[in-house]
Chain A
């Protein structure tokens, strides 16, 4: 399955957003997930099933002025 992850095309076998976060080896604690332009709360990550051509952004807050 091919998705658009953080602006790049990526092949993934992850079925849900939780799987994807684990697959990418990310700390879920401070992670923000935007799924097809909607922010999804962490509690719902398991319920979102990834489809071909989905656009997903994995973001976090960083220092900035």
Chain B
């Protein structure tokens, strides 16, 4: 098999598992998790400083070989997302940005309209834009036109571990998208990550399920293997399960050679 890499911006990723830094019991678990999972991209967030909290630098726990994917969490409008993205880049985080604009505080569903607006602006400014969206084929096309580097439809609500509740919509996006499809949010088990990859997703982003497991290193490795297995299955075009066959020829019996 030829080398199977995912290219985003000017970077090549041989691992199709993207991870996140949220919800770890300790920041010191992040580096070993990255080593165990082989993940080459990880999200970070930007927040107003809290003088009462631990101010240890999360970036110090991420090896330089791993690409940082700052997110715009906290943004409720395109303008806020653009501002966070610019700050992240000015702070030396690189050109990658995950646009995340959320106004629904109940289920944390993304606002596709504002996300698209932010994408148009940031792509023009040279960012490698990975927008987190509700699965929608029209928006997928518009994001492509806007210069996004990938599209990141949610599998199910953030942190819910419910897997691919959006399966049918994601399947359709995989069919029509000219952009790489990264399934983000809701993937709670390696089997669900494998399922997304078998369907033809280009990558998955898993944070909560790894970070909140009893052993993030082991969980990271499990997800990594599942992503690889799913990817290989997709590339191999597996056959489906076999059902019965029909013997008689009521529909085609009239045909002669």
Asked whether B49 lies within 8 Å of A26 as measured between CB atoms, the reply is yes
Q: B47 contacts A59, CB within 8 Å?
A: yes
Q: Are B55 and A30 in contact (CB under 8 A)?
A: yes
Residue pair B87, A63 in contact (C-beta under 8 Å): no
B24 touches A7 (CB 8 A): no
**Interface pair A63/B49, CB less than 8 Å apart:** no
Q: A31-B49, A32-B87, A63-B24 are in contact. List 11 more A-B contacts (CB 8 A).
A: A29-B55, A37-B83, A38-B90, A39-B86, A61-B57, A62-B44, A62-B45, A63-B20, A64-B20, A64-B71, A65-B43
- Tell me if A60 and B20 are in contact (CB < 8 A): no
Contacts of A32 in B (CB 8 A): 46, 87, 90-91
A2-15 interface mask toward B, CB cutoff 8 Å, 1 = contact, 0 = none? Answer: 00001100000000
Contact with A along B86-129 (1 / 0, CB 8 A): 11001101000000000000000000000000000000000000
A interface footprint on B38-75 (CB within 8 Å = 1, 0 otherwise): 00000111111101000111111000000000110100
Give min CB distance, A56 to chain B, whole Å: 11
Number of chain A interface residues as a range: 20 to 34
> Smallest CB–CB gap between B135 and chain A, Å?
18
A-B contact pairs, 11 of them (CB 8 A): A26-B55, A29-B55, A31-B55, A37-B83, A59-B87, A61-B59, A62-B44, A63-B27, A63-B30, A64-B22, A65-B22
Residues of chain A within 8 A (CB-CB) of B83 are 37
- Is B224 positioned at the interface, with any CB of A under 8 Å from its CB? no
Q: Of the candidates A37, A39, A57, A61, which one forms a contact with B44 in the assembled complex, judged by CB atoms under 8 Å apart?
A: A61
Chain B neighbourhood of A39, CB < 8 A: 86-87, 90-91
Contact B70 A61 (CB under 8 A): yes
Residues of A23-65 contacting chain B, CB below 8 A: 24-27, 29-32, 34, 37-39, 57-65
B23: Cβ under 8 A from any A Cβ = yes
With A32-B87, A39-B87, A39-B91 known as contacts, the answer to whether A64 contacts B44 (CB < 8 A) is yes
B192 contacts partner chain A, Cβ-Cβ < 8 Å = no
Contact of B51 among A25, A38, A59 (CB under 8 A): A25
Q: Is the CB of A64 within 8 A of B51?
A: no
Q: Nearest residue in A to B70 (C-beta to C-beta)? A: A61
CB–CB B45/A61 < 8 A? yes
Report the bound CA distance from A58 to B87 in whole Å: 11
Shortest C-beta distance, B48 to chain A (Å), equals 4
6 closest Cβ contacts across the A-B interface?
A64-B45, A65-B207, A30-B57, A65-B20, A39-B90, A63-B21
Q: What is the CA–CA distance of A59 and B208 in the complex, to the nearest angstrom?
A: 23
Closest CB in chain B relative to A60 CB, distance in Å: 5
- Measured between beta carbons, the chain A residues less than 8 angstroms from B87 are 32, 34, 39, 57, 59
The listed residue (A30, A38, A58, A64) touching B48 by CB distance below 8 A is A58
In-complex Cβ contact of B49 among A6, A37, A38, A65 (8 A): A6
When chains A and B are docked, how far (Å) is the Cα of A24 from the Cα of B87?
A: 21
CB atoms of B51 and A62 under 8 A apart: no
> Does A60 lie within 8 Å of B90, measured CB to CB?
no
